[in-house]
Amino acid sequence: MKRLAALSLLALGLASFGAQAQPEFEQVEKGRYLATVGDCTACHTSDPQKPFAGGVEISTPFGKLVGANITPDSETGIGNWTYDDFKRAMSEGIGHGGKRLYGAMPFTAYTKVTDEDNRAIWAYLQTLEPIHNPVETNQLPFPFNIRTSLIGWNWLNFDRGVYQPDMSKSAEWNRGAYLVQGLGHCGTCHTPKNMIGGDKNDNFLQGTEIENWWAPNITAANHQGIGRWSEQDIKDYLRTGVNRYDIASGPMAEQVKNSSQYWKEEDLQAVAVYLKSLGVKDEKVPAPLKGDDKQMIAGRHIYFDRCSACHGSSGKGEKNIFPQLANNALVNAPEPVSLAHVVLAGSRGVDTDARPTAPAMPAFASIMTDEEIATVLTYIRNSWGNSAPAVSADDVKKMRERLTP
């Protein structure tokens, strides 16, 4: 449908403007690509039959927000908008009727997008089918539902302005920085948040909890980050959801499926170059628990019983099938949320065009106690080069409760 709309636009263009049609078609195609890079569908498409008609629920620590209808429907979408209205939403976080938008719409990142790129996205959005679908985006409880509170929020958390290239760096690095900080909005999930949900930019991409998962540190830190990954490893992960270290699950599986698997090779390469340049000074690496620690001995038994068949006796996994647990940023994360999540609920790695079937990790919620799960996680967090604080049965219990509807 979308392609048809773009084609008919081309036909129209050909009829009325002759030779000028080609640039217009190219702009729409570029906009389609950029909308994929920005992953607008993650929050704006709840029903694949109704692309961009809104309705995706986004849970925040303050309550629920819902992605708006951004199809060109004049009543319930943005059909009456001009380009300037659209640009204000992207660059300033101002939506319908001048209302301030919540940061769940990642305008704090999109503000970096250039005018040229915004024009392309706008051109593409206008080729979409208008869909009548009223959406109440603000479903937060009082007092968070009052939009005037966003004036203060923006003042504290929002640095408005297009990305400014760093002339001391290569064009490739700058492209990577532009994509990661801007449209790719990687910091929305990977940057720690302050009390009111704003990004702690001094800790850019250093890892945080999101929707019962841990979005790990993706700087080049060696212990908690991806310092050991090569540029190729980063590209493989973003393109296929898998590399020799890890498999994407949870929200990152969605990101790969909707977005990064479709990024151009040169854009992924730029992202890899940029991420590899981000270091963390003085990374704190705790000393691992000793092998004769009681929890370590018990954990080792459970590991060999339940886990080693897939993840290997020394945590090396099986390339592209079972993730490596040794020297794994996620395993070393300060909080064990993702680990408890995966062991309790199981998980299936992401399927991508490049890799249509993904292996699965079984759920252990019904066959292991909180104590046993905590013990085996403590063991993997302190073996084979990993070191991280022990996991308590209480941590696992809390995750079990959060995962039980």
Which residue minimizes CB distance to ligand HEC?
A: 95
Nearer to ligand HEC, 144 or 213 (CB): 213
Structure tokens that stand for 132 in this block: 């009548």
Structure tokens that stand for 376 in this block: 């085996």
Question: Residues 120, 270, 280, 330: which binds ligand HEC (CB under 6 A)?
Answer: 330
185 is in an annotated binding site: no
Q: Could you tell me if 107 and 183 are in contact, meaning their C-beta atoms sit under 8 angstroms apart? A: no
Q: Applying CB under 6 A, does 380 fall inside the site for ligand HEC?
A: yes
Nearer to ligand HEC, 13 or 176 (CB): 176
Task: State the Cα–Cα distance between residues 255 and 260, nearest whole angstrom.
Answer: 6
CB of 305 to ligand HEC, least distance (A): 8
Helix axes 21-37, 115-125, angle to 10 degrees: 100
CB of 399 to ligand HEC, least distance (A): 13
Nearer to ligand HEC, 12 or 152 (CB): 152
Cα–Cα nearest to 387, from 297, 245, 303, 286:
286
Q: Applying CB under 6 A, does 342 fall inside the site for ligand HEC?
A: yes
Question: Residues 166, 360, 369, 394: which binds ligand HEC (CB under 6 A)?
Answer: 360
Q: Applying CB under 6 A, does 128 fall inside the site for ligand HEC?
A: no
The number of beta carbons lying within 10 Å of the beta carbon of residue 339 is 27
Burial of 42-59, coded b for 16+ CB within 10 Å and e otherwise, reads bbbbbeeebbbbbbbebe
| Stretch touching ligand HEC by CB under 6 A, among 25-33, 158-166, 192-200, 245-253 | 245-253
Q: Applying CB under 6 A, does 255 fall inside the site for ligand HEC?
A: yes
CB of 11 to ligand HEC, least distance (A): 25
Q: Applying CB under 6 A, does 67 fall inside the site for ligand HEC?
A: yes
Angle, vertex CA 260, rays to CA 257 and CA 266, nearest 5: 150
Q: Applying CB under 6 A, does 328 fall inside the site for ligand HEC?
A: yes
Query: Is the previous residue joined to 143 through a cis bond, with omega within 30 degrees of 0?
Result: yes
Nearer to ligand HEC, 250 or 334 (CB): 250
Task: State the Cα–Cα distance between residues 343 and 366, nearest whole angstrom.
Answer: 11
Structure tokens that stand for 85 in this block: 């209205």
Site string for ligand HEC, 284-313 (x = CB under 6 A): ----------------------xx-xxx--
Subset of residues 93 to 122 that bind ligand HEC, contact rule: CB under 6 A: 95-96, 101-102, 104-106, 121
The two beta strands, 57-60 and 63-66, are antiparallel
Site string for ligand HEC, 214-243 (x = CB under 6 A): -xx-x-------x-------x--x------
The two beta strands, 138-139 and 63-66, are antiparallel
Cα–Cα nearest to 120, from 40, 30, 47, 198:
30
User: Which residues belong to the annotated binding site for heme c?
Assistant: 40, 43-44, 186, 189-190, 307, 310-311
